[in-house]
Amino acid sequence: MRLYKRAGGILGPNETRDAAFRRVILSIPKGKVATYGAVAAAAGYPLYHRAVARLLRTEPANRLPWQRVVGAGGAIKLPFAGGAEQRLRLQMEGVTFRGRRVDLALHEHEFRMWEMD
């Protein structure tokens, strides 16, 4: 197991990964979205899309722009009221939909690795 140093202690591998996910999610601008898989890949963990979903489930709602992360093909994956809130928040940011999915042709964020740090 690899451990990383941080101010005030040691950062474990999952914390390092989650910090990378947070950095990527925070880089998604208003009016744009990214898929769970794209977030994971941009963070350097291309097979960890489920870990992105887990982070968003457990992170305090006001800490990250969680509404900007969607499923493959632009699908909102949250059920019931959570999905309705995500759609409303995205619409308030100017995101448009094609049926039940975000119009990714217009709103998918393209990550530029040189802008990540």
State pLDDT tens for residues 3-28: 555 555 666 779 999 999 999 999 99
115 C-beta neighbours (distance < 10 Å), count: 7
| Residue 81 structure tokens | 């009221």
| Residue 89 structure tokens | 């928040």
The reported pLDDT for the residue numbered 7 is 54
User: Are 27 and 115 within 8 A, CB to CB?
Assistant: yes
Domain boundaries, the chain: 6-115
- Tell me, rounded to whole angstroms, the distance of Cα 101 from its chain centroid: 16
Instruction: Output the pTM of the full model.
Output: 0.88
List % helix, strand, coil for the chain (3-state, nearest 5). 50, 15, 35
Q: Lowest-confidence range among 51-55, 102-106, 111-115?
A: 111-115
Element (H, E) at 101: strand 101-102
What is the fold, at CATH topology level, of the domain defined by 6-115? Arc Repressor Mutant, subunit A (1.10.10)
- Neighbouring residues of 51: CB distance < 8 A, sequence distance ≥ 6: 17, 18, 21, 40, 45
Q: Specify the length of the chain in residues.
A: 117
Q: What is the DSSP string of 11-38?
A: E-HHHHHHHHHHHHHHTSPTT-BEEHHH
